[in-house]
Amino acid sequence: MRKKGKIAFWFLLPFLIVFILFRLGPSIAGIFIGFTQWDFTGGVKFAGIANFQNLLKDGYFGISVKNTLCFLLITVPSLVILGLLFAALLNKKIKGRNLGRTIIFSPYVIMPAAVGIIWNWIFDNNFGIFNYYLGIIGIKPIEWLTSGKWALFSVSIVTVWSLVGYNMILYLAGLQGINNELYEAAKIDGANGFQTFIKLTVPMLRPVTSIIITLANGFQTFIKLTVPMLRPVTSIIITLTLINTVQIFDQIYVMTGGGPGTATLTMVQYMYNEAFQNFNLGYGSAIGFMILLFLIILVTIQSKFLKSEV
């Protein structure tokens, strides 16, 4: 057993080194930088809590928090419910099941920036394909990306479209892990399909649902797919995955740049802007720290709600 542990350690070591050097280390350093004034060119000056005080007065930060919350309220339930429905449907032995799984999963493998470019054209007010078909059925053109009312919703549609396949796969794994004898027993007791789904399938999927909510909207790397499988670090992994969930950046940057006005300005976009466009590393890091707090609160609420292992 000890020997197996040692072997596992050596296999994990390269990942751990990269993870500590490029993820954990900079994340911790970022917290300290949030207490400084640093503009790339000058020295690092200790600023105490000045950055955080300014954040509380910063109207644009407030807008970014509101936008991020709205974005999560639209995308997370959609991703969870649609992922479950697609998985439930495509878990049955029906014709075209494999093709269906492929079609739903394929947007997940497209680069987020490419997704943004494609959907920019689909959503074009005057010459985009969506408004063209709406026009055919007599609906006025919708200002998908150029109206403050619609822009955040439009970006949410794109995010759900690109990520639902990932959740479907996780739910499929969960569904296939449910013992068939339970369904047979329910059938004998007279339960119909809907009753079986609600009273048996959904509760059995609670642990998977908790993980999926945590993983929703995360940015896509190989590590976030395989890492949850590693039991010893599951609790740390779930926390890190929720950090990624809130870090939606690519599609918004490409499609709207945070506009129109500030309608799609999210916390991560604002952090990037302050740190790398305005060369205000201290303030950008302070925003990063606030994102961390925001995520801790979210993870705590969702894990208490679902009574998961986290």
Partner 1 sequence: MKFSKIFLLSILLIIVIAITGFSVGSAAPIQVDYWVGFTGPDRDVMKSLVEEFNRTHPQIEVDMMSLQWSPLFSKFMMEVRGGTPPDILTMHLFEMGQFANAKLLDVKMVKNVGLKKADYSPKLWNASMYNNVQYAVPLDYQMHGLFYNKEIFGKAGITAPPATGEELIKIGQKLTIDKNGKNASETGFDPQNIVQYGLGMMNNHHGFYMWWGLMNQEGENKTFTATMKKATFNDAKAAKAWTYLKDLVFKYHIVPKGEKSPYDDFKVGKVAMLIDGPWEIPGLDKVTDLKYETAPVPQVFEHNGVWGANTLLTFPVKAKSSKQQAAVTFVKWLTDNSAAWAQCGMIPAKLSTLSEVKKMPHREAFVSETDYVDFLPPLPKAVQVFSSVAPSPILTASQNVLLNNEPVREVVVQMKKDIDTVLTSN
Alpha helices per DSSP H over the chain: 2-19, 25-33, 50-57, 59-90, 97-105, 112-122, 129-136, 151-176, 180-188, 193-196, 202-204, 206-215, 222-226, 234-246, 250-255, 267-272, 281-306
Q: Give CA angle at 294 (171, 50), nearest 5°.
A: 160
Choose between 63 and 82: whose C-beta lies nearer to partner 1: 63
Task: Note the residues at the interface with partner 1 (CB under 8 A).
Answer: 37, 40-42, 60, 63, 120-121, 124-127, 135, 140-141, 143, 145-148, 256-262, 264-265, 269-270, 273, 276-280
- For the CB of residue 272, give the shortest distance to partner 1 in the complex, in Å: 9
b (16+ CB within 10 A) / e for 199-222: ebbeebbeebbbbbbbbbbbebee
Closest approach of Cβ 133 to partner 1, in Å? 15
Q: Which residue, 288, 286, 289, is CA-closest to 34?
A: 286
Name the nearest CA neighbour of 150 among 227, 260, 33, 43.
260
Residue 142 CB, nearest approach to partner 1 (Å): 10
Amino acid at position 253, single letter: Y
Contact yes or no for 151/256 (Cβ under 8 A):
yes
Query: What is the amino acid identity at position 55?
Result: L
Helix, strand, coil share (%) of the chain residues, nearest 5 = 75, 0, 25
Query: Minimum Å distance from CB 46 to partner 1?
Result: 13
Q: How far is the CB of 41 from partner 1 (least distance, A)?
A: 5
Q: Which is nearer to partner 1, 124 or 191 (CB)?
A: 124
Beta strands in the chain (DSSP E): 36-37, 45-46
Q: Which CB, 176 or 278, lies closer to partner 1?
A: 278
Whole-number minimum distance, CB 174 to partner 1, in Å?
39
Residue 166 vs 283, nearer CB to partner 1: 283
Q: Give the residue with the Cβ less far from partner 1, 146 or 239.
A: 146
Q: Give which of 69, 68, 99, 26 is closest to 275, Cα–Cα.
A: 26
Nearer to partner 1, 44 or 186 (CB): 44
Q: Whose CA is closest to 169, among 224, 119, 114?
A: 224
Residue 28 CB, nearest approach to partner 1 (Å): 19
Cβ 261 to partner 1, closest distance in Å? 5
Alpha helices in 106-221 (DSSP H): 112-122, 129-136, 151-176, 180-188, 193-196, 202-204, 206-215
Closest CB to partner 1 among residues 39, 161: 39
Nearest CB to partner 1, comparing residues 242 and 265: 265
Amino acid symbol at 272: Y
